[in-house]
Amino acid sequence: RKSSDKDISLVNALLDKNVPLSTLNAEGRGLVHRIDRGTSGCIVLAKTDEMHAKLVTQFFLRRAKKIYTAVVTSQPALAEAEIDMPVDGRPAMSKYRVMKQYDSDLTTIQVETMTGRKHQVRVHCAKGLNAPILYDPIYSDGKETAEQSGRFLLHASSLVIPDFDLDAQAPVPSWWEEEISNVQ
């Protein structure tokens, strides 16, 4: 696949540009952890197998701190709390806090994952808070639909790995403001 194709993975785009990536994970070269397609923000990739192994160990030992920003479709009952709810039958814990409430039921929250389960933030918002992420194609309550394909309002805003002095921060995408305005 060429990076000029409309829908290409980050890994394929980097490989098309001859960026060296670790080969430890044949399915996702260089990927140390994943974020869902449609989620924006911070992600860690490794160029070498040695660094890949070291970074994966940090995630496995829960030394990586991941914080997400999300816009949910209703207001959580509490301004901040922990969500301890299994995801796909496995223990999963997140902490959240309300960042901003809008005139409508929309609310911006910050979620820190204490475990790393597939779709954890999405499941915890939809089922733990009864507040699905705006435009989430899987867990949304269907009240709002996205005009843009595949994008929903979930963003990996911070990724910190202290043992490597890594502190990545990413502001939310500029298009969020317009989407929030369209729903209000």
For the stretch 85-93, contacts whose Cβ atoms lie closer than 8 Å and that sit 24 or more positions apart, written own/partner, are 85/123, 85/124, 85/127, 85/128, 87/117, 87/118, 87/119, 87/120, 87/123, 87/124, 88/117, 88/118, 90/115, 90/117, 91/115, 92/117, 92/120, 92/123, 92/124
Region for residue 146 given its phi and psi (left: phi exceeds 0; alpha: psi -120 to 50; beta: otherwise): beta
Q: Which residues are catalytic?
A: 36
